[in-house]
Structure 1
Amino acid sequence: MTSSLSTPVRIPPLYLPFSSSLHPEHETIDHETASWAEQHGLGSEDLRKRITTRAPSGKFAARLLPHGKREVVRLLADCNFWLFAFDDGCCEEGKTGKHPGELAAVMSRMLRAAQTHDVAALAGDPLATALRDLGGRIAQYATPGQSARWVNNLREYFMAAVWEAHYRENGSLPTVDDYTILRLHTSGGLMLPVWVEMGLGIELHPLEADNVAVRAANEMAAFVASWDNDLISHHKESRSGGYYVNAVRVVQQERALTAEEAVAEVIRQRDRVLMLYNRLTQDLRSWGSPQLRQYLTCVDSCLRGSVEWQLASARYNPPEDPADLPTCVLDTSTTAETSVPLPIPAISWWWTIPSPYRGVNRGPTVEQGITR
């Protein structure tokens, strides 16, 4: 680290009272994903090397789906590599990242490639070709409903990325409330439910998947995952020398805090949400089908596995400029638990949902679930 750089802001250990594991074939999947990215020409050679060496997607997918089907873990690794290549090369570092209109046009074409993976949409475009390949392979392991949800998740990710480009173009920052909405989608956290179902070889019954409490639990998990990523990536982003938007920076500006105070506030927010998530999922497990319980256990593991992968990644802790990141996680929170909602209107409804048991038809279809 050069003397011109300030001392990194310390990120203390994060509260994550879950167990995690690692898919045994992560190294092989890493090599396969790197070869797939090279075959499709994703980004520049330098960008591919940077992602492969500093953010190995195979190990990331192996952390999220440690007991998942091998083919789906590989698919998730490829998809994660694609998202890194698109976000780094097209949004954050590319010229279109500062022009929302141009970015919207690019993303609309990309979405068409994902929707029509059997048609040569955007032939010759490496990102579109790779995305079309992903869509076709996902259709092999997903139900029609899961494939449709994946495309819809991608659409929401694209819409949020265009919104973020608006702030990048103006050099401005969103409010904490707007950033919360934006980040739920740009983090990819709301894509997780489809991957968990695919990896486990199940599909939640609509009476469970569309239950307001299950939807809230999915959003809470996405919030915690995105705030965790913002804490861990703050060092990398703040050192980039360019525009960046991050929960720590947004909270710091809106509340006139120091960086250290903003980190503490972001941790308090994610701890509050995680404690609410734990209470809600405990209730869900008391009445849910075996598939729902299996699903929630995997989501728990994903939250911890994602953080463990990030803490070990040179993408967020470069050896040439080390970040002050934790080396462990906590089983208990230092934040006081309370039933009072966070002052973030976009998510305050999480604290008002009734018990998920009320009004639910627990017929045999729900109890059995759908197994593929």
Structure 2
Amino acid sequence: MRGFAVTALEEPPFPQCRHVDTDAAAEQSLRWARELGLITDERRLRQAAAAELAGRACPDVAADRLRLLSDLLTWLFVVDDACDEDGLGDGPARLAPAVVDLLDVLDRHGAPGGGGDSPLCAALDDLCRRTRAQGSPELLLRFVGQVRDYLLALLWEAANREHHRVPGVAEYIQLRRHTGAVHPAFTLTDLAYDAPASASRRVEPALIGVETLAVDLVCWCNDLFSYDKENRSGPDAHNLVSAIAAEAGHDEPTALRAAADRFNRTLSVYAEQEAALLAGDDPTVLPFLAARRNWVRATYDWSLRAARFC
């Protein structure tokens, strides 16, 4: 299915980039995961290539900021694999206790007080403490809220699995923005560049629209590249292709084509809206736009190479 994605998806028209410390960050994030007890399958985590994605999304930031993003992505891949492949997300009753413990960690906002008993909690506590130490309360609050949204959305996925339910397209697109955990990754990217758009600018419809489009592009690119792997052991309801097929009654090839077309149309709209913002006279939005653009390109390039989807 990677071959279909390569031929059907338009390549994002943004420059490729990669941080010079990407390989070092990869080893450091693996060591971090190992020391915290997150790793049960190091091969699987290496295939995820979290640092490769982080290094392409943040190609020119300080090494410690790259590590923070790489460690977040490492943690997210571990949670994702635990839910999707190890059975943690098979139903809300099984997942809920783990989510409650992680919400307890988030409620401390990185303040001292213990990281919880599980490796997932200890790692999340470490991420929150390091985010707090960067000295940006606004971004810390945003990060904590976005990770909370991610965890609650995982319960939605678990309920769907338990009831063998395929969500409708509109519902799927909305919740996928949270299960993809792109928002907290964007926030740590803003933090890495020390130049987030002000709160007054971020609530403007134009910036909200560009951010939403970027999140959708990241998630749908992932869906198309991962579709084959996710469906090997049985149908996976949580994929844009699956949602389109179920709602429209399409066969698999038609649904794949429809999902790719949706990505391509959205990429075109994204480029138009970004160009309109770039034509404005506010230089403070430039880092915001560069971060989203880099993430769209990084996801595409990482998806082409990551063994995670093989």
**TM-score normalised by length of structure 2:** 0.93
After the TM superposition, which of the residue ranges 59-68 and 112-121 deviates more from structure 2? 112-121
Give the residue type in structure 1 aligned to 2:85.
Answer: E
Q: Deviations over 1:41-70 (max 9, x none)?
A: 0042x2x33112x11211111011111222
Secondary structure of 1:85 counterpart: helix
- How many percent of aligned residue pairs carry the same amino acid? 27
Instruction: Give the TM-score of the pair, scaled to structure 1.
Output: 0.78
What residue is the counterpart of 1:225 in the other structure? Answer: 218
Pairwise CA distance, 1:288? 5.0
C-alpha distance in structure 2 between counterparts of 1:194 and 1:138, whole Å: 10
Alignment of 1:13-162 (within 5 A): 13-15=8-10, 16-44=12-40, 46=41, 48-52=42-46, 54-89=47-82, 91-116=83-108, 117-121=110-114, 123-162=116-155
Please tell me whether the aligned partners of residues 177 and 219 of structure 2 are also in contact (alpha carbons under 8 angstroms).
Answer: yes
Residue segments in structure 1 that go unaligned for 5+ positions in a row: 1-6, 318-372
Q: Match of 2:61, SS?
A: coil
1:202 maps to what in 2?
Answer: 195
- Secondary structure of 2:279's partner? helix
Provide Cα deviations, 1:243-281, integer angstroms capped at 9, x if missing partner: 452111111121122211111101111122222222222
User: Which letter maps to 1:33?
Assistant: S
In 2, the alpha carbon distance for the partners of 1:8 and 1:288 equals 40
Distance 1:17 1:9, change over 3 A: closer
**What secondary structure does 2:133 align onto?**
helix
Aligned to 2:158: 165
| Residue-by-residue CA offset, 1:271-323 (whole Å, 9 max, x unaligned) | 22222222222222222522211220231122111111111011112xxxxxx
Describe how 1:225-264 pairs up with structure 2 within 5 A: 225-241=218-234, 243-264=236-257
Q: For 1:135-188, what per-residue CA distance to the aligned partner results, in whole angstroms no more than 9, with x for missing partners?
A: 101112251000000001101111111111111001110001110111111112
The letter of the residue matching 2:264 is D
**CA shift in 2, pair 1:282/1:84, >3 Å:** same
RMSD: 1.9
Whether the 8 Å contact between 1:252 and 1:259 is mirrored in structure 2 is: yes
| In 2: Cα distance, 1:43 partner to 1:30 partner | 14
Distance of aligned partners of 1:139 and 1:280 in 2 relative to their CA distance in 1, 3 Å threshold: same
- SS of the residue corresponding to residue 308 of structure 2 reads coil
Tell me the amino acid that sits aligned with residue 14 of structure 1.
L
**Which amino acid counterpart does residue 101 of structure 2 have in structure 1?**
R
Equivalent-residue separation in structure 1 for 2:114 and 2:80 (angstroms)? 21
Match of 2:89, SS state, is helix
Asked whether the 8 Å contact 1:10–1:260 carries over to 2, the reply is no
Counterpart CA distance in 2 for 1:158 and 1:143 is 23
Counterparts of 2:180 and 2:274, CA distance in 1: 22
- Structure 2: where are the runs of 5+ without partners? none
Q: Is the 8 A contact 2:190 2:291 kept in 1?
A: no
**Which of the pair is proportionally richer in helix?**
2
Task: Answer whether contact 1:20 1:304 (CA < 8 A) is retained.
Answer: yes
Matched AA of 1:130:
A
Tell me the distance in 2 between the aligned counterparts of 1:292 and 1:192. Answer: 18
Distance in 1 (alpha carbons) for counterparts of 2:203 and 2:3: 40
Q: State the distance in 2 between where 1:110 and 1:149 align.
A: 16
Tell me the equivalent position of 1:348: none
Q: 1:195 to 1:163 in 2, by over 3 A?
A: same
C-alpha separation in 2, matches of 1:254 and 1:23: 41
The structure with more radius of gyration: 1
Report if aligned partners of 1:20, 1:302 keep a CA contact under 8 Å in 2.
no
Q: Is the 8 A contact 1:115 1:135 kept in 2?
A: no
* Equivalent residue for 2:277, pick from 273, 284, 302: 284
**Aligned partner of 2:227: which letter?**
H
